[in-house]
């Protein structure tokens, strides 16, 4: 019963991490820099939903899509006005990272200004005991979260595989120069990836907020776990990404249950480091030139 409950926790956490890491990964492949702005997009999505649903009393099922698209719009705007010119100047990826950190600081403080730093609640229903399955419990919100994240994940993969824009995205992610030779407008494709990524990130933020409430800084830790899952999975592989998320979630949840609570972080990260040393290229093990020494 305890084991089953831990299993449910792991599944729930990994679903959120999958969504987070995929939202980050989809725009990481073509631009190849750590876009910390996503941390702000995660909280923006949640706070916009809060604004529409709680403060303007719009029905939740309308509020969520509006909030999602608005956050995607913000993400795209930043891309057009800041990252694109920087990219033209051939700024290094680290410089871009620093700029995205600056944008994160700006957006996070804007949220603090507008809604304050205290926790806000976005509970859809009253918190009550979940459905019992063999002694373990699962709540409606958890079921919704798991199904929504998996559905979105599948949809995005389907989109990338079979849609024309999706194919362009994959082409640009693999090789920008080659894609341009084929006549693909890589700038526009990057905008698409930022848009899709921001949508997914905002949804992830909303899903987390319905369970844990909202704070302006909620996005940073969430993004970090997404990035780590992506890198552990091995850049450029969907299966690896799922594996990375499950590994990260299991490491967190299992150490939390079995270890002395104060060493949880240390042990969870040691497991990740050990894993990276065992498989230096992540789960998918996609080859990098440097390591083949």
Partner 1 sequence: MKRFNYQLEIITVIVTVMLLEGCHSFEKKNVQIGLIADLSGTMATYGKWVKEGAELAVAEINSNSTQKIDLSFEDSKSDPKSALSALEKLYNINKIRMIVAGNSSSCVMAMAPVVNDKKILLFSTLASSPNITNAGEYVFRNRISGTFESQSMAIEASKLGMKSIAILATNNDAGIPYIKAFTDKFKEQKGEIVASILINPGQSDFRSYALLIKTLRPEAVFLVTTVDQAVNFINQSITIGFTPKWLGISSLKTDQFITNGGKNVEGAIITNEGIDQNGKRYIEFSSKYFKKFGENPTIYAVNGYDAIHLLYESYIRTNNIEMVKYELLRNSFSGAAGIIKFDENGDVVKDLELLKVEGGKFISIK
Partner 2 sequence: MEYLLHLLILITIYIMLAQSLSLIAGFAGMISLAHAGFFGIGAYTTAILSVNYHFPFLITLPVGMVICGIIAILISTIAIRTVDDYFIICTIGIQIVIFSIMNNWMSLTNGPLGISGIQPINIFGLNLSNKLPFLLLSIIFTLAIYMFLRFIIKSGFGRVLKAISEDEIYTQSIGKNVYLSKVTAFAISAMIAAIPGVLYAHYISYIDPTSFTVDESIFILSIVIIGGMRNLMGILIAAAFLVLLPEALRFIGLPNLIAANLRQIIYGIILIVVIFKSDTIGFTIVTKE
Tokens of 135: 């002694």
Residue 292, SS3 per DSSP: coil
Smallest separation, CB 6 to partner 2 (Å): 22
Smallest gap from residue 184 Cβ to partner 2 (A): 17
Alpha helix segments (H runs only) across the chain: 2-31, 37-50, 60-78, 84-88, 93-115, 140-162, 164-174, 176-181, 186-212, 218-233, 238-258, 264-278
Choose the contact partner of 90 out of partner 1, partner 2, none; CB within 5 to 8 A by kind. partner 2
Residue 186 beta carbon to partner 1: minimum distance, rounded to whole angstroms = 28
- Kindly state the tokens that stand for 273: 């480091």
Closer Cβ to partner 2, 148 or 246, answer by number: 246
The answer to whether residues 216 and 43 touch, using CB atoms and an 8 Å cutoff, is yes
- Residue nearer to partner 2 on the CB measure, 80 or 235: 235
- Among partner 1, partner 2, none, the one that 217 touches (CB under a kind-dependent 5 to 8 A) is partner 1
**Cβ distance to partner 2 smaller for residue 161 or 265:** 265
**Rounded distance between C-alpha atoms, residue 75 and residue 219, angstroms:** 14
- Nearer to partner 2 by Cβ, of 11 and 235: the residue is 235
Say which entry of partner 1, partner 2, none residue 155 contacts (CB below 5 to 8 A, set by partner kind).
none
Binding site for partner 1 (CB under 8 A): 2, 5-6, 9, 12-13, 109, 112, 116-121, 123, 126-130, 132, 136-137, 139, 142, 208, 211-213, 215, 217-218, 221, 252-254, 256-257, 261-262, 265
The CA distance from 224 to 233, in Å, is 14
Tokens at 127, concatenated: 């918190």
Nearer to partner 1, 93 or 109 (CB): 109
102 binds, among partner 2, partner 1, none (CB under 5 to 8 A by kind): partner 2
Q: Which residues bind partner 2 (CB under 8 A)?
A: 32-34, 82, 85-86, 89-95, 97-99, 101-106, 109-110, 112-113, 224, 227-228, 231-232, 235, 262-263, 265-266, 269-270, 272-273, 276-277, 280-282, 288-293
Per-residue burial over 64-74, b if 16 or more Cβ lie within 10 Å, else e, is beebbbbbbeb
Classify residue 123 by its DSSP letter: -
Could you give the CA distance from residue 282 to residue 241 in angstroms, rounded to a whole number?
A: 9
């Amino acid at each position: 019963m305890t084991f089953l409950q831990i299993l449910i926790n792991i599944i729930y956490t990994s679903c959120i991490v999958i969504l987070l890491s995929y939202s980050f990964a989809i725009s990481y492949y073509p631009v190849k820099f750590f876009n910390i702005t996503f941390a702000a997009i995660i909280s923006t999505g949640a706070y916009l939903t809060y604004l529409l649903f709680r403060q303007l009393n719009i029905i939740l099922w309308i509020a969520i899509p509006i909030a999602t698209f608005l956050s995607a719009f913000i993400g795209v705007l930043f891309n057009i006005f800041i990252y694109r010119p920087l990219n033209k100047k051939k700024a290094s990826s680290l410089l871009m990272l620093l700029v995205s950190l600056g944008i994160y600081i700006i957006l996070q403080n804007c949220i603090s200004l507008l809604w304050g730093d205290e926790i806000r609640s976005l509970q859809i229903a009253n918190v009550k005991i979940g459905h019992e399955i063999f002694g373990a419990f699962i709540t409606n919100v958890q079921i919704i979260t798991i199904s929504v994240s998996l559905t979105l994940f599948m949809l995005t993969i389907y989109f990338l595989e079979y849609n024309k824009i999706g194919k362009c995205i994959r082409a640009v992610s693999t090789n920008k120069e080659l894609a341009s030779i084929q006549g693909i407008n890589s700038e526009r494709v990057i905008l698409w990836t930022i848009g899709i990524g921001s949508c997914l990130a905002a949804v992830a933020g909303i899903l987390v907020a319905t369970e844990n409430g909202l704070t302006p800084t909620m996005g940073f830790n969430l993004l970090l776990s997404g990035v780590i899952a992506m890198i552990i999975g091995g850049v450029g592989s969907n299966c690896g990404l799922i594996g990375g998320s499950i590994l990260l979630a299991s490491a967190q949840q299992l150490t939390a249950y079995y270890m002395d609570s104060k060493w949880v972080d240390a042990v969870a990260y040691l497991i990740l480091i050990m894993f990276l040393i065992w498989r230096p290229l992540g789960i998918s093990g996609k080859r990098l030139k440097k390591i083949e020494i």
